[in-house]
Amino acid sequence: MPKPRTATAADADAPPRLSVRLDLGAGLRIGPGKVTLLEEIGRSGSISAAGRALRMSYRRAWELVEDLNRGMGTPVVETAAGGAGGGGARLTAAGEAVVQRYRAIEADTNAAAGAHLEALARIRQG
């Protein structure tokens, strides 16, 4: 889901970072796109609003949520009655756990990788 982007001069000064994808087995993979979508659903209370905010089609947003529900074996998002686009949506406890654990992993791994990232950035600039 990362959008194509163009390198700018400012990027050269950005600190080196890493992004992570979790592979939980049985084909379940969780990366920044799905996690950002869950966060946006939690914020907006709506899958369609979350999709719009992330410039993602409603169909695509639903597919990602379904992929997570199926992969986790338990719903990460609950929808209220009202059908497509009608009722609201909220994160379940499992959905909240996915978001919180992913963001914790992101922070911990960036801290763990800091020295290596700095070393690579030094090689790049030299």
| Secondary structure of residue 57 in the 3-state scheme | coil
| Secondary structure of residue 80 in the 3-state scheme | coil
DSSP secondary structure code for residue 24 in this structure: -
Range 25-54, binding its own copies (CB under 8 A): 25-28, 30
> Are 22 and 106 a contacting pair, CB within 8 Å?
no
Q: Which stretch binds its own copies (CB under 8 A): 2-10, 42-50, 52-60, 82-90?
A: 2-10
| Secondary structure of residue 87 in the 3-state scheme | coil
Beta strand 29-30 pairing with 77-79: unpaired
Q: Which stretch binds its own copies (CB under 8 A): 19-27, 44-52, 53-61, 78-86?
A: 19-27
- x/- binding map, residues 67-106, to its own copies, per CB under 8 A? ----xxxx-------------------x--xx--x--xx-
Determine the Cα–Cα distance for residues 78 and 89; give it in Å rounded to an integer: 6
Where on the chain is the footprint of its own copies (CB under 8 A)? 5-7, 11-28, 30, 71-74, 94, 97-98, 101, 104-105, 108-109, 111-113, 116-117, 119-121, 123-126
